[in-house]
Amino acid sequence: MKETAKTLKIFFWLDIVVSLLMVVLFECDILPQGGLADNKEAEFLISSVMIVLTLVAIPLALKLFKMKKVDEQLHVSDEWLRNANLKKWGVLRIGILGDTLVANTLFYYLFIRPSFFYLAILLLLAMAFIYPTVDRCERETDISEEEPMADDEGEIDGTSEGESESDDKIDSETDDHKN
């Protein structure tokens, strides 16, 4: 699990570092800013597409692991397969947000339009919710989250339906008072 978390962290930080590198290159005038600022048609089209893409990418990435197909693959019994699936879906989730972040950062400097900057900030904030720690990786692939299976007599973990440990405690207390 540590290897998977390490790999996912590399992908997580890669998009952020690429975005920061672009900021440095454009701010130091190594790359020219506003190269497409005069093309209003392209600016409108790309701005519209990136707004929709960003607004779809954030909830999609945040809810990806709760989708039925993905959830089933993350909770298989084989540990190796579970880690491989976590790596596959984790890289996809990070890529959805990270690649959109890189694109918005690039378009901000090409068009000098603040809406791309605001979209990039939203994506950066959303990425904080998917940071791949070892604990998060274990929680997202934890097979003990599944409902306990009832046996043939309707018992779950040694107690039958309607019967619980608190009922046993109450019964023993009433027996003590009778004596």
Instruction: Report pLDDT digits (tens) over 72-93.
Output: 888 877 888 888 888 889 899 9
In a domain, 124, yes or no: yes
Domain count for the chain, please give it: 1
In a domain, 79, yes or no: yes
Model pLDDT for residues 144-163, shown as the tens digit of each residue: 544 444 444 544 454 444 55
3-state secondary structure at position 156:
strand
CA dist 163 and 56 (Å) reads: 46
3-state secondary structure at position 151:
coil
Mean pLDDT computed over every residue of the chain:
81
Sorting pLDDT into bands at 50, 70 and 90, what band is 137?
confident
In a domain, 40, yes or no: yes
In a domain, 39, yes or no: yes
Model pLDDT for residues 24-74, shown as the tens digit of each residue: 999 998 988 888 888 899 899 999 999 999 999 999 999 988 888 888 888
In a domain, 62, yes or no: yes
Range of the domain at 126: 2-136
In a domain, 96, yes or no: yes
In a domain, 141, yes or no: no
In a domain, 102, yes or no: yes
